[in-house]
């Protein structure tokens, strides 16, 4: 058994696709019309056949309340692995990305938390030393 897909609930699929590809650097994999929305997935350019991230509309009645509660409590929806949190923090800050937590050492892990502009907080992390 392996993880094939995981989702992030977004308030605007077009905005999410731009942010996750142009800003974060993911690669589009699928973009299939599905009625009012689309089946959009992105992947890491370092692992194009790996786990796909679905940019899923947050249309379910519970989704918006769930996302709002997580953001209010400062809880990231998911976490992405990076090679160097400080370098990605500097790069993304330079692109105008808003962080709610700067790079912070937490034992053997360094993390930072960013706003994905689509209603989610996303953690980036790497193992230190």
Q: How many residues does the chain have?
A: 129
- The full set of domain ranges for the chain reads 5-127
Q: What is the CATH number of domain 5-127?
A: 3.10.180.10
Query: Where does residue 40 rank: exposed (0-12), middle (13-18), buried (19+ CB within 10 A)?
Result: buried
Widest distance between CA atoms in the chain: 48
Q: What percent of the chain has pLDDT over 70?
A: 99
Residue 129 clears pLDDT 80, i.e. is over it: no
- Is residue 42 within 8 A of residue 53, CB to CB? The reply is yes
Residue-wise pLDDT tens digits, 33-47: 999 999 999 999 999
Residue-wise pLDDT tens digits, 66-87: 999 999 999 999 999 999 999 9
């Amino acid at each position: 058994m392996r993880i094939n897909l995981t989702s992030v609930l977004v308030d605007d699929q077009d905005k999410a696709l731009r942010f996750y590809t142009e800003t974060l650097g993911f690669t589009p994999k699928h973009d299939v019309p599905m009625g009012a929305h689309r089946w959009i997935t992105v992947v890491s350019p370092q692992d194009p056949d790996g786990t796909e991230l679905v940019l899923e509309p947050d249309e379910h009645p519970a989704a918006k309340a769930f996302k709002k509660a997580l953001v209010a409590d400062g809880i990231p929806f998911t976490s992405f692995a990076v090679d160097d949190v400080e370098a990605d923090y500097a790069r993304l800050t330079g692109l105008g990305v808003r962080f709610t937590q700067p790079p912070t050492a937490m034992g053997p892990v360094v993390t930072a938390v960013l706003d994905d502009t689509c209603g989610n907080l996303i953690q980036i992390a790497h193992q230190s030393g």
